[in-house]
């Protein structure tokens, strides 16, 4: 009975996936942006006064490579920011994963003449959800974009925030764009999107692979630009989340608590100790309880 109840809750979480995609693409007003210069050739575009998703821009002699395209209504603002530091055309957009706050601007980026690339898993998630701006290029595990003397490396190491997360390494500058595999700040806690194939259990080992790469600076999916040491701290927090949920599962099952009681107790702990909000709760709680028995 208990396993059946958990399965029903888990399936309910999966059904929320379509709702989340719709929310991110509809009724969004344009954002206000600012640009931060990371190196001579790398810029980060972020929202003023919020922790919305970030855009990374790599400038090369032959054009631009962007990491993520934010929401559709943000396109004109992004283009205006880019024109403050270069007139070069956009050649590639890399989707770090399928969520609409990172891919909603894809269709308009096609209109700019860009090619869009993602992991195979992220592309399939977009196809399944019938999202606009589906990438025309996709890769398994590892690939490179060579443009204007730059070597931009793309890695898909496994499941974390979703099943399709890509990190992007601009090796010469030792800069990593992480997508939502790593977010910075207490206001953007770890979000395990089980509907999108995410995994609390595998997130840590996926980060272990990323941390073997040679970089110093990290542009997170959300939050301020940070350092590799900050990602190491975030990695430890994924261990703490995983161990806490597993430990509570064992304890509460040993006390013969019902699935509803287990969900309520673990949910309260995640909100109080790890600052989970409504999105983390709706997307991750039931899946994590099911995964971390």
Q: What is the pLDDT of residues 157-212, one digit of tens each?
A: 999 999 999 999 999 999 999 999 999 987 889 999 999 999 999 999 999 999 99
**Residue 70: other Cβ atoms inside 10 A:** 27
Angle (CA) 151-227-177 rounded to 5° is 40
How confident is the model over 86-117, as pLDDT tens digits? 999 999 999 999 999 999 999 999 999 999 99
Phi, psi (degrees; rounded to nearest 5) at 194: -65, -30
pLDDT at position 29: 67
CB 178 within 8 A of CB 269: no
- Asked whether residue 124 falls in the same domain as residue 40, the answer is yes
Mean pLDDT of all residues belonging to the chain: 91
- Asked whether residue 151 falls in the same domain as residue 286, the answer is no
Q: Which residues pair with 144 in a beta bridge?
A: 153
CATH number at residue 66: 3.60.15.10
- Asked whether residue 257 falls in the same domain as residue 180, the answer is no
Q: Look at the chain and report how many structural domains it folds into.
A: 2
**Averaged pLDDT, 249-253:** 96
pLDDT at position 1: 34
- Asked whether residue 245 falls in the same domain as residue 233, the answer is no
- Asked whether residue 147 falls in the same domain as residue 172, the answer is yes
**Strand 226-227 to strand 63-67: parallel, antiparallel, or no bridges (unpaired)?**
unpaired
- Asked whether residue 170 falls in the same domain as residue 252, the answer is no
User: Does residue 4 register a pLDDT over 90?
Assistant: no
How confident is the model over 45-63, as pLDDT tens digits? 999 888 899 999 999 999 9
User: Does residue 13 register a pLDDT over 80?
Assistant: no
- Asked whether residue 168 falls in the same domain as residue 261, the answer is no
Alpha carbons 279 and 46: distance in angstroms, whole number: 21
- Asked whether residue 150 falls in the same domain as residue 91, the answer is yes
DSSP state of 28: P
- Asked whether residue 178 falls in the same domain as residue 224, the answer is yes
Alpha carbons 108 and 104: distance in angstroms, whole number: 9
Give alpha helix (H) positions in the chain. 2-25, 75-82, 100-103, 106-111, 120-128, 200-211, 228-254, 259-274, 278-291
Among 203, 221, 239, the domain-final residue is 239
**Averaged pLDDT, 112-125:** 98
Phi, psi (degrees; rounded to nearest 5) at 133: 70, 40
What is the span of the domain harbouring residue 221? Answer: 18-239
């Amino acid at each position: 009975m208990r396993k059946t109840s958990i399965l029903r809750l888990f399936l309910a979480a999966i059904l929320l996936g379509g709702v989340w995609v719709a929310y991110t693409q509809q009724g969004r007003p344009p954002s206000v942006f600012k640009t931060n210069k990371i190196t001579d050739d790398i810029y980060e575009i972020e929202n003023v006064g919020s922790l919305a998703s970030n855009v990374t821009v790599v400038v090369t002699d032959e054009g631009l490579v962007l990491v993520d395209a934010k929401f559709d209504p943000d396109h004109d603002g992004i283009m205006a920011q880019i024109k403050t530091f270069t007139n070069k055309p956009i050649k590639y957009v890399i989707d770090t994963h399928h969520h609409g706050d990172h891919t909603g601007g894809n269709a308009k980026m096609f209109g700019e003449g860009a090619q869009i690339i993602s992991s195979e898993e992220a592309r399939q998630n977009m196809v399944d959800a019938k999202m606009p701006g589906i990438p025309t290029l996709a890769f398994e595990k590892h690939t490179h974009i060579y443009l204007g003397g730059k070597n931009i490396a793309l890695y898909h190491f496994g499941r974390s925030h979703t099943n399709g997360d890509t990190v992007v390494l601009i090796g010469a500058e030792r800069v990593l764009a992480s997508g939502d595999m790593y977010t910075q700040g207490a206001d953007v806690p770890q979000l395990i999107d089980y509907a999108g194939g995410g995994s609390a259990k595998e997130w840590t080992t996926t980060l272990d692979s990323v941390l073997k790469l040679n970089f110093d600076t990290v542009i997170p999916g959300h939050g301020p630009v940070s350092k590799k040491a900050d990602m190491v701290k975030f990695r430890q927090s994924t261990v703490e989340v995983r161990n806490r949920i597993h430990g509570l599962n064992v304890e509460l099952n040993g006390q013969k608590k019902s699935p509803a009681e287990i969900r309520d107790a673990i949910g309260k702990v995640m909100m109080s100790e790890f600052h989970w909000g409504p999105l983390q709760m709706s997307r991750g709680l039931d899946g994590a309880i099911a995964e971390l028995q």
